[in-house]
Amino acid sequence: MEDLNPCTGLVERLFWLIRLRWIAAAGVLLTIFLIGQVFKFQLPFFPLYIVVIFLVVSNILYIRLLDRFASVCKIFEPAMADSESFGIINGIANAQITLDMLALAALIHFSGGIENPFIFYSIFHMIIASILLSRRESFLQATFASALFIVVVALEYLGALPHYCLKGFILVDLHRNLTYIGGIFFVFVTTLYIAVYMATSISIRLRQRERSLRQTNELLKERDRAKSEYVLRVSHDIKEDLAAIQSCLEPVEVGITGALNPKQLDLIQRAVQRTTKLLFFVKALLEITRIKLSKEIKIDYFSFKEIVSEAIEQVSQKAAAKNISLVFSVEPSIDRIRGAREYLREMIANLLANSVKYTPREGRISVSVADKGNSILLQIKDTGIGIPKDELPKVFDEFYRASNAKEIERDGTGLGLSIAKQVIERHKGKIWVESEQGNGSTFYIMLPK
């Protein structure tokens, strides 16, 4: 699911800026090299390389810093996101842009000052500021860039700073030409301010949209939660009544209250069957709702091989009754994993029970567990009826049952696979299926260790 937390959003954009800075550093390095080696300009290369080193080192520091705050963000989200840590990260963003501009000013100063057209690359800093920062902060950055321009150019003009002429690129030394300086300054400043104005206009609108999207998303989550709680309450009440109905019907059905004539027995049996089916459905509904509502599930370490064996054991009788062979293989490196043991075992048993149900006699079900480094891959492959191609995307939906499954078994909740999906998603894993009608199905479950 998309994370709409404003704090992590800013962190993400800062990581984007860090990637851009790598490109910038590489570009500067290449340019300096070309100017020196190909165009043979006479420039002080040592300080230029120092600036590149500064860019690289500062970028590494930013990554360190952000990693620290990004984890803070994740731990305290979303409560802290809006206040304290957002302020800190916003400060980091401001500092980065300011330092980047200082680096650019240094590069410009050592490579021609006012004569160097790269001076206009400040516009990129303005665009980045407009994307990352507020409008006010962006205009402040534009003002800072303009001031920096004046200071460097003025100091060079007055001779307080040495001027490195870009001989070979320009025809006459321009750093003391006031008309030229004034013209460039005017265009430079207006360019920056207009760029900030345009870029912030767009980014403010985008941010507003993002905020309203976030609010809608939260509202939807809350609604969904309220709906789930409602489902939980209603189905629990239904279950209580069903339990009472069954408690009264079953003693009659098994003859405790006296012998029944065949017609009576038949009707009672029908009633018991229907309540059993309904009870089964309500229990499944309770199960999935409970998983959805639970904030956390009980996690421990356990042997994955053991729970798969237990799940296989649970269905082995039914498989044997249909002469279905059950094959199980585990890579030896599979050991303990972290998770909710009972949920996982029950879910695997459910998938296996499905396979047994929809695999004809004399079929074959193979279960394998493979080691995939950070995760494990469980595969349940059967020679069953398969799933029609156009229905494949829907089988994990709540209450959905494949058309050919309905033909084989009329009663079914259509909740088994959606429960499985919920359980797997709570483990940050993935479940998917490959199947062809008439040619069996293979369910895959990827679980982090």
Quick one: 343 or 358, whose CB is closer to another protein?
A: 343
- When asked if residue 364 is in the footprint of another protein (CB under 8 A), the reply is no
Give me the 295-334 binding string for another protein, x by CB under 8 A, dash otherwise.
Answer: ---x------------------------------------
Interface with another protein by CB under 8 A: which range of 46-54, 67-75, 262-270, 278-286? 278-286
* Strands 325-330 vs 364-372: parallel, antiparallel or unpaired: parallel
Cross-strand pairs, 442: 381, 434
Give me the 215-234 binding string for another protein, x by CB under 8 A, dash otherwise.
Answer: -----------------x--
Determine which residue in the list 207, 214, 283, 364 makes contact with another protein, applying CB under 8 A.
283
Quick one: 183 or 251, whose CB is closer to another protein?
A: 251
Determine which residue in the list 57, 63, 243, 320 makes contact with another protein, applying CB under 8 A.
243
Contact between 102 and 55 under an 8 Å Cβ cutoff? The reply is no
Give me the 175-214 binding string for another protein, x by CB under 8 A, dash otherwise.
Answer: ----------------------------------------
- When asked if residue 277 is in the footprint of another protein (CB under 8 A), the reply is no
Contact between 93 and 134 under an 8 Å Cβ cutoff? The reply is no
Helices and strands counted in the chain (H then E): 11, 7
Quick one: 189 or 297, whose CB is closer to another protein?
A: 297
Quick one: 106 or 252, whose CB is closer to another protein?
A: 252
Q: What angle do CA 261, 266, 269 make, to 5 degrees?
A: 120
Q: Residue 111: which of 202, 48, 198, 183 has the closest Cα?
A: 48
- Longest Cα–Cα distance in the chain: 118
Quick one: 298 or 336, whose CB is closer to another protein?
A: 298
CA 55 to chain centre: 30
Determine which residue in the list 99, 165, 245, 377 makes contact with another protein, applying CB under 8 A.
245
Interface with another protein by CB under 8 A: which range of 237-245, 393-401, 408-416, 424-432? 237-245
CA distance 198 to 127: 9
Quick one: 202 or 243, whose CB is closer to another protein?
A: 243
Q: Residue 124: which of 49, 17, 207, 10 has the closest Cα?
A: 17
Give me the 98-117 binding string for another protein, x by CB under 8 A, dash otherwise.
Answer: --------------------
Helices 84-110 and 45-76, interaxial angle, to 10°? 170
* Strands 430-435 vs 441-448: parallel, antiparallel or unpaired: antiparallel
Determine which residue in the list 257, 261, 317, 333 makes contact with another protein, applying CB under 8 A.
257
Q: Where are the alpha helices (DSSP H) in 111-177?
A: 122-132, 135-158
Helix (H) or strand (E) holding 191, with range, is helix 178-253
* Strands 364-372 vs 441-448: parallel, antiparallel or unpaired: unpaired
Q: Residue 139: which of 150, 128, 129, 124 has the closest Cα?
A: 129
- When asked if residue 251 is in the footprint of another protein (CB under 8 A), the reply is yes
Quick one: 266 or 342, whose CB is closer to another protein?
A: 342
Contact between 211 and 145 under an 8 Å Cβ cutoff? The reply is no
Mapped onto helix, strand or coil, the DSSP state of residue 182 is helix
CB 264 to another protein: min, Å:
16
Determine which residue in the list 82, 335, 342, 362 makes contact with another protein, applying CB under 8 A.
342
Q: Residue 60: which of 100, 122, 18, 97 has the closest Cα?
A: 18
Determine which residue in the list 273, 294, 323, 439 makes contact with another protein, applying CB under 8 A.
294
Interface with another protein by CB under 8 A: which range of 114-122, 145-153, 279-287, 365-373? 279-287
Q: Residue 432: which of 420, 414, 416, 448 has the closest Cα?
A: 420
Quick one: 161 or 279, whose CB is closer to another protein?
A: 279
What is the rounded radius of gyration, in angstroms, for the C-alpha atoms of the chain? 34
- When asked if residue 248 is in the footprint of another protein (CB under 8 A), the reply is yes
Quick one: 207 or 283, whose CB is closer to another protein?
A: 283
List contacts with another protein (CB under 8 A). Answer: 232, 236, 239-240, 242-248, 250-251, 254, 256-257, 279, 283, 286, 290, 294, 298, 342
